[in-house]
Each structure stands twice: as structure tokens, then as C-alpha cells.
Structure 1
Amino acid sequence: MDTPLEILKKYWGFDQFRPLQEDIIKSVLDGNDTLGLMPTGGGKSITFQVPALAMQGMALVVTPIISLMKDQVDNLISRRIKATYMHAGLTMAEMRRTYEKCMYGKCKFLYVSPERLMSQSFIDRLKHMPVSLIVVDEAHCISQWGYDFRPSYLHIASIRQYFPRVPVLALTASATPVVVDDIMSQLKFHKPCVFRKSFSRPNLTYVVRHTAEKYAELVHIVQSVPGSAIVYVRSRRRTREISDELMRNGINADFYHAGLNIEDKEAKQTRWKNDELRVIVATNAFGMGIDKPDVRLVIHVDVPSSLEEYYQEAGRAGRDGRRSYAVLLTTPTDRGKLHRHLTEAFPDKDFIKKTYQRVGDFLGVAVGEGYQKVYEFNFNLFCRVFKLPVIATHNALKILTQAGYIEFVEEIETQSRVLIIAQKEDLYHIESENPYVDRVLQALLRTYSGLFSDYVFINESVLEFRFGIMQQDIYEALIELTHMHILHYVPRKRTPYIIYTTSREEPKYLLLPKAVYEEQRQKLSERIEAVINYAFNDNVCRERQLLTYFGERVDNDCGHCDVCIARRKHSDHSPQDVQDGILYMSQVKPRRLEEFVNTLSFPQEEVLATLSSLVDEGLVIHKSDDTYVNPKPLK
């Protein structure tokens, strides 16, 4: 059996591990339950993929992000490593084929969504699989004290009874000390075993900019800092608005959010990763599993609701170790917005109970029915039918999920798939008035294999490109072939699901436990106050605030965040230094006011006051075009 280092070299081409990776791998191979805290971009996947390849059997990987699941499986397959995945969007035939591969030892990695662990049929098959390692990615989701708690994660510990000697590896990029202890408790660690990498990022400069005009400040920052950038906002609509604003200012930008189809997402990601696109403006749907090391700038236009979320997203800058910037834009109104977020996140209990009742009515589930059944759920239509507020309703469903009455699975996008059900000889005798039917069928046969034995994922845009047939014509031809019983075509779709984890109850019998409602509300309130303090406390080093929040002891300030720089400006200069800087700049060429403020490393108020005095004294002239010039010639 190859050593971990030999496996790393063989499949990934690296000669050595990054800090902490080897320690975690050794712990896993020694059979220890292990928790790895590694900041975003620290190489978490290596810590379970390498030991799994060094062990007999298969790794079961639990991850909540479907797109990341697919990306990692595709990446492993590209390295000739046998891997597969399973989630609610697969057909029965696809699931059956996956089960067979795993049960007969033809797979090294099985990725599953946490919801899958709630299925008894899955558990019955899992018992017979050669599981050698259980991996829990985004492990903070198992803790009710974390910022992204998901009740489905609580089912992970229950599968340990079937594999009592199999170690668990839990991984997360951000967790407070309380969450760390809760992760180990919920996963039933045999003994505490935590490997921490400092949350400090010496190459990352944290900056908070207070501004009345966020869009103008955003444009200025992007124009001032060269290199690839991510701009985060909290609404899909604003991704397009801000992208358009950047484009109007000559900045090559595009937008990204979860509502885009698979092809658009992949195209935008690829352009950005290949530096054909400088700035991507996105919701938090962008970033997970996207490994671009040379991001120089991450800007948050909207203030996140937790420091865990901010740290993860800001940490996508500077993974190559070079100087990079994480900038948070704030206005005085952001405090109120964050407090309103608390109200929206925990709507009134009566509203939650009415939402539960309406879901049952909408899906046609009778009282006492629905247990362990999965229902497609058109969330937007549901809100329109009952005239419900979108954000509060969404959070009501999340609270009902945490209370254990339902499982609300957000949008899963499934690719189109085709299975040919006719005999091969029947394909030569197809008669149709649609001229594209035969062309589309021949295109399928020439492009994809295995169509007669199982469903195969297809891409209509690929067929359009290769064979010159419009996508609408491809769609209509495939529908007709389905009606003719030549094949079965399942078009791609984006669908949320509701899973009833108990039979439908009368609303009056619904109980929202204190741990789910009152205690969670209090925890969110504390997280929001921590964000407000980070955003508006301009007296404490930004990095020190972050590291303290995550439980690290901090002896020194970072020296390069905006607070540290401002403190240094106040202590390291004299009024003459400010005056000399202004006089020199205005002597070189006429300057606008913002050029002095943004170029000189002195406090803004000092620059403005000194410039005003110099104008009054006639040492600097304020011209009609709103520039300032020193009339004394440069020697």
C-alpha cells in the first residue's frame, strides 16, 4: 500500500503536504475521530481523500452542497479515482446503479447529502457497503449554536452504530469554541481530537469603509486595486444591478446567483477563473469549491449576518499568499438592516404554525399522512398563492425543519437525462412529420454511450453546438420521441423539496422547542451584535476582533488593517508632513479632492483641513474645474 505522501504525488502531483494536512491524515489513519479546523482554501479535501485511498474500503462523504459534491466527484474521476454521489435529484435507476457500485466495492468515495441519511432504504443498503471512513464536511452545520445549523446533520451520528470501528473526520472552515465542542459531542467522538490552523491570514488586509454612496466607493476600490475580484451582495437582483454599474465604469464584470441555470453558472465561473472576466458580482451561492488562488479583492457591499459567513467569504481572497484585500462597505442604516434581519429570521410563532398548515394544504397532504414522503415544492408559487412574505416564509420553513416536522431542501438543479426504451431495430422505422426527430436521435447516439442500459445526463447546448440544431427544436424532438415510446426524456429542472419527517400534525399540536426558537434567536442576536461591533468599532484591530471571536488568543495587532493603519497615521506624522504631501502632489499636476484623500496616508479630516488652509493662504489654487494646483513650479 502506498504511503500518504506517495498517494499525494501519484494523484495530485504535489511533493509535500500543506501545514496541518499531514497531522490530520495521520490521526485518521491511526483510527482517531478527528476534527479539522482549516480556513477556506486550506486544502480540506486532501485530508480525507488521501487517507481514504490508503485504506481498504470506501469513504462516505456527507456534504450539504450539491454543486460542490458534483465538482469533487468530477475532479476525482478526472484523476482516475472511482467516485460517485447520491442526492434527491437522481432517478431510481441512477440510485440503483450507484448502490450496486458501492456495495460491490467498485467505488472509493460515495458523496451523499445529509437528507439521504434520513432514508431507511439507504441505511439498509449502507450497512452492506465497505465503509472505512466517515467524512462530515461543513461540520458546523451539525451544531445548533452554529450559523448554518441543519437538522439533517443530526442523523450522521446514528450511522456510527453500523460501523463502530470506523473513524469520523469532521471538517469546517469556521467554528467558535462552543461550536467545536458541540460538533464532537453530536458526532459522538470517542475522545477529543482537534487540529486547528490559526484563523490568521497575514497576507489578507481587512478594511471597513464607511460611506454614504456604496456604489461609488465600490467602483473607486475596484479601480484602485488591480486583479481578480469578487463582490458579494445579499440579493439576486442586486447582482445584476451592480454588475451593470461596474460595466458602465469600464470594469469587466458579470453576475452570479443560485437562480441561473447550470450552463450559465459554469460559463461565468469558467470566464472568471480564466481571467476573461475580472469581477464576479454574486450572492453567497458563489465560492464554495471554486479554487482560484489569485483573487486580490473581496468586497462585501451588504453586511453579512455573522462573522463566520464573512470570514469564509472574505477568505477567498489571497489563497496564493500574496497581499490581498477584504473590504466591507457600511452605511449608518446597516445597523437597522441587521436588526430587521433578526425579526425576519424568527417570525412570530403563529405565523410559523400557519405556514406549516398551508404547506400541507398546498401539497395535498392530509393530517396523519406524509411520513417519510418527498414532495416537490414550488416555493415561489406557494408564496404567491397564499400572499406570504418570501423571507419570513423561507425562515419559517427552516424553523419547522429544525423542530423536526419537515425537511425543507432548497433548490436542487438536475441535468436533463435520457434513457432509450425502444429496441435498437425499432430505431430504423421511426416516422414523424417533425424533421428534427431523426436528427436529434442520431445526435444522441453519436454523442452519448450507455443510452440503452440506464439514464444518461445530456446537455442540450452541447448538441446545439455540435449539430447546429436549436435547443427549442431539440426539446420538442425529445418530447415527441418520449410520446412515441422511443425514449424517456427528463428535462432539467430546478426544484425544492419538502420531506415530511413526521406525519402531518394539526397546527395546535405543533411545539417549537426553546432550543429551536428562543435560544436560536438569542444566538443569532449575539452573532449580529458581533458583526455590528466588527463593522462599526474603529478602535480595535479588525483581525484581532475576528480571531478573538473564533477563540484565538491574540497578543498583537495585525498592523495592516484599516484600524491599524489609521492609528499609525495619527502617531507617525506631523502637520508639516501633511502640508508637504499636498503641496508636492498639487505641484506635479492638478488634482481632485479625492486624489489627496485616497493617496496620502494621513487621516482624511487632516488632509481636508490642511488643504482648506493652503487654499486660504493662496499656496494652492482651487480651479473652476474643481481641481487643486500649486502655482509654484516643480523644480
Structure 2
Amino acid sequence: MQKYLDILKKYWGYDGFREKQDEIVKSIASGKDTLGLLPTGGGKSITFQVPAMTMDGVCIVITPLVALMKDQVANLQNKGIKALAVFNGLSNREINIAYDNCIYGDYKFLYMSPERLSTELFLTKLPQMKVSMLVVDEAHCISQWGYDFRPSYIKIADIRKELPEVPILALTATATPQIVDDIQDKLLFETKHVVQKSFERKNLAYIVRNVEDKLGELIKIVKAINACTVVFVRNRKKTKEYCEWLIQNGISAHYYHAGLTHQSKDKKQKEWMNDSVQVMVCTNAFGMGIDKPNVRLVVHMDAPDSLEAYFQEAGRAGRDEKKAYAVMLWNNADKTRLKRNMAVTFPEKDVINRVYQALGNYFQIAVGHGAERTFDFEMIPFAKAYGFNLLQVFNSLKILQRAEYVEYTEELNIPARLHITVGKSELYHLQVSNSNFDAFLKLLLRSYTGFWTDYVAIDEQTLAKRANVPLKTIFTYLNQLSKMKVVHYIPRKKTPQVFYVQDREEQRFVKLPNAIYKDRKADFEKRVSAVINYSDDTHMCRSQFLLQYFGDKKAKSCGQCDVCIDKKKKGINADALQELEQSIKEFLQEPKSKLELTAKFSDEKQWESILDWLIDNEIIYQNEEDKWCMK
């Protein structure tokens, strides 16, 4: 174990592993297929990055989150660890070079989107790679019962057959017992093996506030906590509106969403990370891979569509294990919106089919063509051209993605990349013969490394500042050198994209099986109902509700959520209430009189207080015969 601790200290600066991290490290390092269940902030990436550093070959990491993929690769590179990422939006040449570096170079990590696993290029290169382990992040995506099912994850089983001796590590922060079993089955675990840290967050108080004036309540809460805060909202427009409202009330804040420029995102994120501003108001585009330990408060202005999503987002608070709060602001309008979303999220099959056919026409793809091609995609002009509303298009694309026809990537933000295509001596001769190019090339080589072996991400604005020249001048040099074939320069790309997983089908052959549409719709409705039940429930401990949802049937009351605090104010012991409530439920299988109830439970502690509480919260009621019944 010492060699893993040495790696942990050398590259990450930690003296020891967190709970369950060491168990996962030992398990995967010994060659066992392993499913690691660690809550948000539990340090999942450490569990494979550390052992992979001690093993021969490259660790392949499969993740659906491009932003997280890029962040983790950048973090590894900053530590001096060789890592690459391959995802939709890169050119074939870039991808080819990346694979060759994994074959012939000493790269330790290759991050990939799941759609890349079935491409011809990857399947050709894979047998030549020495793979140390296979890591599946967000592993719940492989289960059709998972809240974010992606059919492309099913292809991982095919890759396993090509790597029979390579262990697999599956990781997720949220999975019900049914999904835990399904993940291991779908990934062909040789022997089922789960390492799980309790989902309980003892330092995190979950609170639901039923209020009409959400903005007023937000100001009160943020001022009361007066510490680092994340405020989640559902749409981009609200991020700016709420941010301005906070600033008007004397609270420092930034807003963040996927549509901002790279420079703006970077600036806002850095200022929030170093505590220059207190609050980040954001969509769920913010937070993936962000590890800020001292977030004391997470506020949801709008309820998410699933408790899995809520649990992950709320879990960004209190990662330093000090007291923190997760607050959901809730009212009847939220309930109405969630119910309406059930219909909106699953358009009629005819609408989905028309969106698919319109896409093919829009990109001018003939039937039987288009597989593995990527297209820039602007949703607004597309929707206008073909008479769809934006939600119809967005949700149809998500369903077509599950059915493995296309892959839709929102607001892909890929930095500019540069690869030097001539030898070092040829470049030297160019510098000697052209003083203007000499100064610029020296600036490039001083600013970045690795141009001859890989495409290197560059920032034109940074180069312009260092050279003290207008940004236009940098673009001119880069384009001239690219035309001369001295370098291959790929400008920054910031646009949504559609990737065709398979050739375009004729309309009559487009199928949406029950597992993709009908079953998923029913499952989505259950998830939405669970969110509504969680938010409306005023008698069950919030933490206990969440933990039981994730399969921990023995979870105890937390003593610090709004429900538990309300019970304390009324002098009711939460655990006593839970036990007595269960006894009453069993006793009231048939209606009973008040005399029968009293005779049965009058010897119990706090009987009268608990009875009053059960009545006040409408858990028990009197029928027309004045007998008591359970609701």
C-alpha cells in the first residue's frame, strides 16, 4: 500500500486516502472488477488515477461529460502526468495522433466519450495499445433504469471482450440497488464486487422551504449563512437575473451557463474559486468536476427532474466535512412545472421521427450515409426552418441519442489547437530566414510544449498579451503558418454538434423500442413523482428519505433537516416517532377507535405529542364513524 500512498503524496499532496478510497485502490490494483459507489465529493478520480500511475500501459477512462473530461486531463497535465482526451469535435487527424501517442508514447491516461468506442479507427488501434485498466465513470449511464441512460455505454461490454485480462472499475455517485446489480451485469463482471461508502452526509442539512417569494427568501438565506454559495436555476436567463438581484442587495455574485465565452467562464470560475465573490448563480453546466471544499450553501431555486440529480448537485456543499446546507425553494408552481415536464420531455413518436428526418435534410445527408460524421448544429435556425419549437427539438435529440441514431453535444467549447508538422531543422531554417516568424515561433515554443508529438491547446489572447500585439496579429501569423503547412492550426470552436452514430435511416426503419421510449417515459414519471413526494413530505426526515430512495432502508433521522428541527420544537424524538409511526401503521390495518388507540399506545413515551403530530400532518385521520385510519 505504501507505493500508492507515495504516489498520492507526490502528485496530489495528500498524506492518506479518504474512506473507501484505499479499498477501491487495492481491489482494482489486484485485478478485481470493482464497482465503487462514492457520493459526490468522495474523490472518485483518485481511486483509478493513483493505481494507474503504478501500472504499465494506458488507463482508458470512459465518461460522457466532455467538460469533466477536459478538466481532469488538464489537472493531470498540470501535475506533469501525460493524459489525452478524445471526444466529438476533434478532427480525425487529432484523434489518430492521440491514439498513436497511447500506443508508442508513455501516456498514462486516455479519456474517451463512449460513442468513440465503436468507431472503426479506435477498434483498429485498440489491439496495439497496452491497456492497464478500463474505467467507467458515471457508470449508472449503462443501466436502462439509470436516470441518465446512454445506449453507447452498452458498447463497453464489447471492448471488454477485446481486453480479457484487463480489470474494470465502474464508478458512480448515485445508484439504487437495482442499478447496482444492472451495472455489474452489463459490464460483464467476472465476480460481483461493490465497494460502497454510505450516501449519508452527516454534515449536510437538507431543507425544503415552501415559499412564494423565492427571491426574497434567497436573499435571507444567503445573508444568514454569509459564506461560499452555489445557486442552481433551470435556465440561462435566470442566472443573470438572480445574479443582478443578489448584487443589488449587497451580495457579491457571478452567473454561469454553457453559453458564456471561454474567457468569461474561466474568469468567473477563478474568482469564485478563490473567494473573490460569494455566490455563483448557475445552471447545472457548472459544478461538474469542480472541487471546492468550503461551499457552505447550495440553493435550488427550481427542483430538478430526479432525486439523483438533486443529490449530486446538493452534494457540492460541505466537501470539507464541515457543517453545510442544501436548500430547495419550493411551491405549487414547481409541482405544476414538473408534471408538465413529463409530457414535454417525451414528445410524440411522430414528432421525434420528423425531427430525425429534418436533421438529415438540414445536413444534406443521403439515406445510407453519414455514419461517424460530425456536424455543427445551431438549434434555433433549424427549429425555425422546419417549424419545431426548441423543446421539441432538444428532447427529440435526447431520445434519438438513446436510440443510437445520433449523438448531440450542447455548446461544445474546444480551445484552439496547434501541431507543428515540419521537423525541427526545417523550422529552424524558417526562423533564420524570416525574423517576423522567428519572434512569433519563439513565443509559441516558450509558451507551450509538445507541438511535435501532439495537438496542443493554445490561447490566442494569452499570446497577444505576451507579445504585446493586437489579437488580430496573432491570428494572421497562425493562419499564414498553417497555409505554409509549417503548422496545423485549428481555431477555437464553440458550437453545439450532432454526431451520426450510424448511417441515416429511411423513415419507415426508424424504431424507438419500448426500452428507449415507453419504459423510459414511465421511469421518468416515477422519478418526477419522487421529487414531488420529497418536497411535499413534512413528516419524514429529508436525509432519511434520500437514503431510503438509494436503498438504505435502515437510515436514521438526521436531526438537522427542517422536518427534524420542526419535531424538536414540538418536543418529539425523531427515532421514537419513526418506530411509533410504523407500529401505528401496522395497528391501523383496520380503522380503530380513539379508545383502542389509547389502550394500545398510552404507555409509549411522548404518545400524546406524537399522536398530535401525526394528526397535524394528516398522516392519520378520523373517518365518518369517528374511527382512526392511516392515509
TM-score (norm 2): 0.85
Of the structure 1 ranges 454-463 and 416-425, higher mean CA displacement relative to structure 2 is found in: 416-425
Secondary structure at 1:156 match in 2: helix
Q: Counterparts of 1:348 and 1:225 in 2: how far apart (Å)?
A: 45
What is the Cα deviation at residue 477 of structure 1?
Answer: 5.3
CA contact under 8 A between 2:296 and 2:323: conserved in structure 1? yes
**What secondary structure is seen at the aligned counterpart in 2 of 1:412?**
strand
| Amino acid of the structure 2 residue aligned with 1:143 | S
Q: Which residue of 2 aligns with 1:262?
A: 262
SS of alignment partner, residue 516 of structure 2: coil
1:34 partnered with 2:34: yes
Change beyond 3 A, Cα 1:158–1:15: same
Q: Which residue of 1 aligns with 2:230?
A: 230
For 2:157 and 2:472, locate their aligned partners in 1 and report how far apart those are by CA, in whole Å.
47
Contact 1:86/1:98 (8 A) holds in 2: yes
The 3 A distance-change label for structure 1 pair 475 and 77 is closer
- Do 1:89 and 1:413's aligned partners in 2 also have CA atoms closer than 8 Å? no
- Counterpart in 2 of 1:362? 362
C-alpha distance in 2 between matches for 1:82 and 1:439:
29
Worse-superposed segment, 98-107 or 207-216 = 98-107
Question: Greater shift after overlay, 538-547 or 494-503?
Answer: 494-503
Q: Counterparts of 1:535-546 in structure 2 under 5 Å?
A: 535-546=535-546
For structure 2, list consecutive stretches of 5 or more residues without a partner in the other structure.
574-631
1:496 aligned counterpart, secondary structure: strand
- Aligned residue for 1:154? 154
Pick closer, same or farther for the CA change 1:492–1:155 going to 2, 3 Å.
Answer: same
Give the drift of 1:259: 1.3
The answer for the alignment partner of 1:585 in structure 2 is none
1:392 is paired with a residue whose SS is helix
Question: What's the counterpart of residue 323 of structure 1?
Answer: 323
Q: Which residue type is aligned with residue 41 of structure 2?
A: G
State the SS of the aligned residue for 2:128: coil
Matched with 1:65 is: 65
Distance 1:30 1:442 in 2: 47
Q: Does 1:376 align with 2:376?
A: yes
Q: Give secondary structure in 1 for the equivalent of 2:190.
A: coil
Superposed CA deviations along residues 236-267 of structure 1, whole A, max 9, x for unmatched, are: 11111111110111100001111122222222
Comparing 459-468 with 294-303, greater Cα deviation is found at: 459-468
Contact 1:229 1:298 (C-alpha < 8 Å) held by counterparts: yes
Letter in 1 for 2:248: R
Q: Is the 8 A contact 2:101 2:453 kept in 1?
A: no
The answer for the alignment partner of 1:23 in structure 2 is: 23
- Following the alignment from structure 2 to structure 1, what is the Cα–Cα distance between the partners of residues 124 and 421? 30
User: Displacement, 1:453?
Assistant: 6.9
Q: 2:115–2:501: 8 Å Cα contact kept in structure 1? A: no
- Cα deviations by residue, 1:179-223 (Å, 9 ceiling, x for unpaired): 111111111111211111111111100000111111111111101
Distance 1:387-1:362 versus aligned 2 partners, 3 A rule: same
Determine helix, strand or coil for the equivalent of 1:101. Answer: helix
Say how many residue pairs are matched: 569
Q: 1:503 to 1:322 in 2, by over 3 A?
A: same
Change (3 A) 1:50 1:545: same
Q: What is the identity, as a one-letter code, of the residue corresponding to 1:518? A: K
Post-superposition CA distance 1:100-154 (Å, at most 9, x none): 2211251121111112102121121111111121100111111111111112211
The AA in structure 2 aligned to 1:187 is L
SS in 2 for 1:327: strand
Q: Quote the offset at 1:295 in angstroms.
A: 0.4
Judge conservation of contact 1:544–1:558 (CA < 8 Å) in 2. yes
CA contact (8 A) 1:296 1:323 kept: yes
Instruction: Report what 2:533 is aligned to.
Output: 533
Relative to structure 1, the CA distance from residue 455 to residue 6 in structure 2 (aligned partners, 3 Å threshold; closer, same or farther) is: closer
Give the 3 Å change call, closer, same or farther, for CA 103–445 of structure 1 in structure 2.
closer
Asked if structure 2 preserves the Cα contact closer than 8 Å seen for 1:414 and 1:492, the reply is yes
Residue identity over aligned pairs, in percent, reads 47
Report the CA distance between 1:8 and its aligned residue. 2.3
Q: Check 1:241–1:470 CA distance in 2 against 1; reply closer, same or farther (3 A cut).
A: farther
Distance 1:27 1:454 in 2: 34
Structure 1 residues 284-433: aligned runs within 5 Å: 284-419=284-419, 424=427, 425-426=429-430
Q: Is the 8 A contact 2:68 2:288 kept in 1?
A: yes
Could you tell me whether the CA contact under 8 Å between 2:548 and 2:555 is conserved in 1?
no
Structure 1: distance between partners of 2:8 and 2:450 = 33
- Which of 309-318 and 407-416 deviates more? 407-416
RMSD over aligned Cα atoms: 2.4
Q: For the Cα contact (< 8 Å) 1:61–1:110, is it kept in 2?
A: yes
Query: Which residue in the other structure is 1:608 paired with?
Result: none
Give the 3 Å change call, closer, same or farther, for CA 384–483 of structure 1 in structure 2. farther
Rounded Cα–Cα distance in structure 1 between residues aligned with 2:485 and 2:15: 54
Relative to 1, partners in 2 of residues 1:94 and 1:542: Cα closer, same or farther, differing over 3 Å?
same
Residue 421 of structure 1: CA displacement?
6.1
User: 2:252 is matched by which residue type in structure 1?
Assistant: N
Counterpart residue number, 2:167: 167
Deviation at 1:386, TM superposition (A): 1.9
Counterpart position of 2:611:
none
2-structure distance, mates of 1:43, 1:177: 21
1:558 maps to 558
Change (3 A) 1:399 1:6: same
Partner of 1:587 in structure 2? none
CA positional deviation for 1:454 = 5.7
Q: Could you tell me which residue of structure 1 aligns to residue 594 of structure 2?
A: none
Whether the aligned pair in 1 keeps the contact of 2:431 and 2:437 (CA below 8 Å) is: no
Question: Following the alignment from structure 2 to structure 1, what is the Cα–Cα distance between the partners of residues 131 and 186?
Answer: 20
Which piece of structure 1 moves more, 388-397 or 473-482?
A: 473-482
CA distance in 2, matches of 1:166, 1:254: 45
SS at match of 1:276: coil
CA distance in 2, matches of 1:572, 1:545: 18
Contact 2:419 2:454 in 1 (8 A): yes
State whether structure 2 residue 247 is matched by structure 1 residue 247.
yes
Instruction: Indicate the larger mover: 202-211 or 441-450.
Output: 441-450
Match of 1:201 in 2: 201
Query: Which residue is 1:43 aligned to?
Result: 43
TM-score, normalised via structure 1 length: 0.85
- Partner SS, residue 295 of structure 1: coil
The match for 2:467 is 467
Deviates more, 1:448-457 or 1:293-302: 448-457
- 3-state DSSP class of the match of 1:571? coil
Question: Judging changes above 3 Å, is the alpha-carbon distance between structure 1 residues 155 and 212 closer, same or farther for their aligned structure 2 residues?
Answer: same
Which deviates further from its counterpart, 345-354 or 266-275? Answer: 266-275
Q: What is the Cα deviation at residue 526 of structure 1?
A: 0.2
- Counterparts of 1:470 and 1:244 in 2: how far apart (Å)? 32
CA contact (8 A) 2:88 2:499 kept: no
The one-letter code of the counterpart of 1:294 is N
1:145 paired residue number: 145
Once residues 227 and 374 of structure 1 are traced to their aligned partners in structure 2, the CA distance between those partners, rounded to angstroms, is 43
Which region of structure 1 is more displaced relative to structure 2, 110-119 or 351-360? 110-119
2:447 corresponds to: 447
Q: Extract unaligned runs of 5+ from structure 1.
A: 574-635
- Structure 2: how far apart are the matches of 1:354 and 1:2? 59
In the alignment, is the contact (CA less than 8 A) between 1:437 and 1:480 conserved in 2? no
Q: Any conservation in 2 of the 1:440–1:478 contact (CA below 8 Å)?
A: no
The answer for the alignment partner of 2:99 in structure 1 is: 99
Deviations 1:575-617 (A, max 9, x none): xxxxxxxxxxxxxxxxxxxxxxxxxxxxxxxxxxxxxxxxxxx
Deviations 1:464-515 (A, max 9, x none): 3223333345335544665566654322112333233332222232211011
Deviation at 1:58, TM superposition (A): 2.1
CA distance in 1, matches of 2:133, 2:452: 35
The change in CA–CA distance for 1:311 and 1:164 in structure 2 (over 3 A counts) is: same
What's the secondary structure of 2:353's corresponding residue? helix
